[in-house]
Structure 1
Amino acid sequence: MVYSRLHSFSRLMISLTLAAGLMSLAGGAMAQDKRQNAPGEFDFYVLSLSWSPSFCEEAAERGRGGGRSQIQCGGRPYSFVVHGLWPQYENGFPEYCQRPAPRLNRSIVSSMLDLMPAPGLIFNEWDKHGTCSGLTDRNYFETIRKARAVIKIPPEYLELSQAKTVAPAEVEEAFIKANPGLSNAAISVTCNRTRLSEVRICLSKDLLFRACDEIERRACRRDQVTMPPIRGG
């Protein structure tokens, strides 16, 4: 009889725990749904700067010789290029906020190739992230250009002629030194198995540096990574 009561009590506690978990999940979903994927409803931007030589080496290893890699990894020696300007929530992010996305004017694509060196990348960034900004296509890409102008690339990475082994923290500190007002709380470095992939910087909607926890969750955890040299270096 004691066993029966204990068994019943255990089952009751499990049921209550499951119910509480479901209510919590439902509550979180409801809170998220208030803004999730609503154009213009976000907290800040992440400017993502991709180290182009790493992208090109990885594309070559995977045998991806066409599309974006063919254009980006051709003759011009790119260093850091703009991957995107991403609207973010304090936790999580919106994406594909308009389906189908408004058609992107090709003149805008042509005008952005100096910063984002592949039409496919530009179209994808507009569809996935630009539609969440609440801006027109022209204003969104003008904002990307303004955000990029905020950031000064450390001089040691502008003409990297030989492969360089770096600690992620070393790259962050170089950017902080080159950009007054930028702090460790607003920048993060990502990597793949061996190479530096991107530098990500948090900006307010007014394009001022601001702290954020979101990018740190995806930060590189390796002690050292390689920065392949700029093509032609």
Structure 2
Amino acid sequence: MKAAFLIPLLAALWPAHAPAEGVAGDFDYYVLSLGWQPGWCRATGDRRDARDCNPGSGRDFVVHGLWPQHERGWPDHCATDERDPSRRDTQAMADLMAPGLALYQWRKHGRCSGLSAAGYYAALREAAEAVRIPAPFDDLPRDITLPPAVVEDAFIEANPGLTPDGITVTCKEGALAEVRICLTRDLEPRPCAPDARRDCSRSRVLMEKIR
């Protein structure tokens, strides 16, 4: 096969959402990821005896990360001159996420922000604290199944400025996994690029009750 035909073929086969080798600070917008904690506990946390999954923990949507994103694809594990956060820095994030997760998010995504570790954590905190969790989901008393669009609509109603093209839901094994909200570099709501839109194609998803 001639190279002139091979190159377009490879480009067509390469996933549109594949991560790209990144340069720190070179990205277009952020995705704020909020995980449904009961679903994570069922799928992963219970096997790890995670403390956040204990009965009475009362966790609903929790911060997973703040991810620099390109209009197509995303960077990760970027080279940066910024130092990794100290243990004290990651421990200070414990009210939002486990310190180990805070370190992982910095190494994979935060280094691509062009910010220092402290600056990245401050941006992550600002983004997370600006989002209001819809009332129907902050104390779910029993398991329910519902269309993913219901979750999106509830977030849009609770957060003026969010639009249908600026939020997406992901699912795993038939259960709600995450809500992802697209933000400008200044942390204002914006439309998601096509490869960051609705990842859950199921007509209904399970939301486990709050523990």
CA shift, 1:114, in A, is: 1.1
> Which structure: larger Rg?
1
Q: 1:135 aligns with which of 99, 105, 115?
A: 115
Q: How many residues align?
A: 202
Q: What CA distance in whole angstroms lies between the structure 2 residues aligned with 1:102 and 1:221?
A: 40
Q: Secondary structure at the match of 1:50?
A: strand
CA shift, 1:104, in A, is: 1.6
Q: 1:150–1:207: 8 Å Cα contact kept in structure 2?
A: no
Q: 2:146–2:205: 8 Å Cα contact kept in structure 1?
A: yes
Distance 1:201 1:130, change over 3 A: same
CA shift, 1:177, in A, is: 0.5
Match of 2:173 in 1: 193
Q: How does 1:104-123 map to 2 (within 5 A)?
A: 104-116=85-97, 118-123=98-103
Q: 2:90–2:100: 8 Å Cα contact kept in structure 1?
A: no
Q: 2:77 aligns with which of 68, 92, 96?
A: 96
CA shift, 1:119, in A, is: 1.9
Q: Percent identity?
A: 44
Question: Is the aligned partner of 1:220 residue 2:205?
Answer: no
Q: 2:125 aligns with which of 131, 140, 145?
A: 145
**TM-score normalised by the chain length of structure 2:** 0.88
Q: Secondary structure at the match of 1:82?
A: strand
Match of 2:159 in 1: 179
Q: What CA distance in whole angstroms lies between the structure 1 residues aligned with 2:82 and 2:107?
A: 6
Give the unaligned 5+ runs of structure 2.
Answer: 15-19
Q: Which amino acid aligns with 1:141?
A: Y
Q: How does 1:41-56 map to 2 (within 5 A)?
A: 41-56=26-41
Question: Is the aligned partner of 1:204 residue 2:187?
Answer: no
Q: What CA distance in whole angstroms lies between the structure 2 residues aligned with 1:103 and 1:146?
A: 20
Q: What CA distance in whole angstroms lies between the structure 1 residues aligned with 2:10 and 2:47?
A: 41
- Runs (4+) of structure 1 exceeding 3 A deviation are 23-26, 99-102
Deviations 1:116-170 (CA, angstroms, capped at 9, x unpaired): 1x22211110110000000000110000010012211101111111112111001
**TM-score normalised by the chain length of structure 1:** 0.80
Match of 2:47 in 1: 64
CA shift, 1:101, in A, is: 7.8
Q: What CA distance in whole angstroms lies between the structure 2 residues aligned with 1:50 and 1:23?
A: 37
Match of 1:85 in 2: 66
C-alpha RMSD over aligned residues = 2.3
Q: What CA distance in whole angstroms lies between the structure 1 residues aligned with 2:173 and 2:111?
A: 32
